[in-house]
Amino acid sequence: MVDPTARDGVAVAIEAYLSGEINNDEMERRFSACSMNDRACFRTVGGMLWFSSEFKKHFNGGVYRLADRHSAMIQRWVLLLRSREEWPEPLADPPRGLVRRISSILARFRQPDLPPFAENEFWPFASMEQWQKLVRSGQLQADSSHSRGLGRGNVQ
């Protein structure tokens, strides 16, 4: 379910953090408007929390400045929020028993604390090609009245 009001609140908070207008605590406070029923909103907030210190208030600057590739990834998340598109999901889910067995085997070989986007900067999309296909289709038309000049050229 798409919740436009919650998405706008989260998008504005992220844009304000990226531009240095607010610190991480204020950004997280603004995330309280997020709807758990809107997967894009909920998952974007979860992704942003990986970049926020739990121990210190900070702005997006200095040692806390996001790397360019992370900023570009987050800007794609904002475009997805603004687009009113649903959160992309896998085409099909394997049977639960099989998933548990495979997960238990893989858990021995991977680091458990990695965010879902650790190895894919185009998350929640499977690849850059999948993202670009959506961009070319015209479905990601962000409302320009909300845009803060986050550099569409950087996110495609």
Of residues 30, 34, 12, 137, the one with CA closest to residue 85: 137
Phi, psi of 121 (to 5 degrees): -70, -5
Listed residue (74, 80, 93) closest to 38, CA to CA = 80
Query: Could you tell me what percent of the chain has a pLDDT over 70?
Result: 70
User: Which region among 4-8, 63-67, 92-96, 140-144 has the lowest average model confidence (pLDDT)?
Assistant: 92-96
At residue 84, the 3 state secondary structure works out as coil
Would you kindly state where each structural domain of the chain is located, as residue ranges?
A: 4-155
| pLDDT tens-digit series, residues 28-51 | 999 988 888 898 899 899 889 888
| pLDDT at residue 149, as a whole number | 44
Pair 58, 24: CB distance under 8 Å: yes
pLDDT band at 7 (very low <50, low <70, confident <90, very high): very high
Question: What pLDDT is recorded for position 114?
Answer: 59
Residue 11 has pLDDT above 90, yes or no: yes
**50-84 per-position pLDDT tens digit:** 888 778 899 999 989 999 989 999 999 999 999 88
Q: How far apart are CA 54 and CA 155, in angstroms?
A: 27
pLDDT the model gives residue 9 = 95
Q: What is the pTM of this model?
A: 0.66
- Quickly state the pLDDT bin for 134 (edges 50, 70, 90): confident
Instruction: Answer yes or no: are the C-beta atoms of 2 and 35 closer than 8 Å.
Output: no
